Structure 1
């Protein structure tokens, strides 16, 4: 089964990327997902699941249909996959949150002269700005990958309420398309994994 996972969790290794008003001790006591919608070639209906753990900082999103491939016998729909997720988050009033970095793990088979690219973008309905993460998979490479990306700009969810709608768009593509190449699940774990560090702060 092909699975893409997203985790939201704090990370001490990314302290340099944190905003100056971030405090690792600031976490709402109540956080839950009250609604999820999915759209895209990488997440057909019924192929994704979203959960959040008891720490209020770890979110797991699994996709069972997410594989990109090029070469003979493939078509345009195989060369690029994406999934747009809209997550309605509920939490204690007086807080806002942001994503701070992504760590993506999976499997790639990219020949010399070919290039794979995965991007994960986040924004919040009603708030300006977008946080974007790009991961390059340049050939030649074959095997598992574990790559980290940090954004130049960090956007935050709006203040003034107890809910926020976070929009995530994850997409991967390979070019040129005539060469045989693949971005897929890790052959050992059976999943593509995206770890996303999240920070909370008081409004």
Structure 2
């Protein structure tokens, strides 16, 4: 099953913590792996409720044009979060926010997809798609919200949430760039969870 999120641009998106979260949410492990997050180049911040997340990447750069190769044209980073929470709840991704910098010439386009899924249920995932069409030059701050939610399974108190951030450029012969924001030195992906009680 595959869902596509609608993209809506916002500047300075503020995430509010969901009110129906379980009392106890614990994060037992976070791992990062991919060409966009070499060792010691990425970090994940999680709020006290376990519902607001911010992943930052300091070496995430996608580049096309002369003297580049296939490995430069696409980058990805997979974030895996092992969660434990009070029984009787389930969660889904409420919204995401992506902040970075891009130089896209006329005739070129960039795309970033944040894909969320649950381990053992990879077929049921949600894609948050961000598109940057040339000519574009400068920082970007874009948020998206899913039209259809994909909820974690009921009947348990643990879940492994996966997020894969993949950015690419085309056509590859034109010089273009998607990279970290010049001010913060980071490319950021923020996302919020929404919770609900499982039906008995």
Alignment of 1:1-20 (within 5 A): 9-10=15-16
Name stretches of at least 5 consecutive residues in structure 1 with no aligned partner: 1-6, 12-23
2:170 is the counterpart of 1:164:
no
- Give the secondary-structure state (helix, strand or coil) at the position aligned to 1:130: strand
| Deviations, residues 105-135 of structure 1 (Å, cap 9, x unaligned) | 1110000000000000101124462111000
TM-score (norm 2): 0.85
Contact 1:52–1:60 (CA under 8 A) maintained in structure 2: yes
Alignment of 1:74-93 (within 5 A): 74-93=68-87
Partner of residue 150 from structure 1, selected from 145, 168, 193:
145
| Deviations, residues 50-100 of structure 1 (Å, cap 9, x unaligned) | 232223322222223211111111111111000112211111111111102
Q: Which residue of 2 aligns with 1:20?
A: none
TM-score (norm 1): 0.83
2:61 is the counterpart of 1:67:
yes
Q: Distance in 2 between matches of 1:166 and 1:55?
A: 16
Deviation at 1:182, TM superposition (A): 0.5
Q: Distance in 1 between matches of 2:50 and 2:164?
A: 22
Aligned length: 185
Contact 1:8–1:57 (CA under 8 A) maintained in structure 2: no
- Give the secondary-structure state (helix, strand or coil) at the position aligned to 2:124: coil
The list of structure 1 runs, each at least 4 consecutive aligned residues, that deviate by more than 6 angstroms after superposition, is none
Q: Distance in 1 between matches of 2:81 and 2:119?
A: 10
- Give the secondary-structure state (helix, strand or coil) at the position aligned to 2:165: strand
- The range that moved more, 178-187 or 55-64, is 55-64
Q: Which structure's residues are more often strand, by fraction?
A: 2
Name stretches of at least 5 consecutive residues in structure 2 with no aligned partner: 1-12
Contact 2:55–2:190 (CA under 8 A) maintained in structure 1: no
2:124 is the counterpart of 1:140:
no
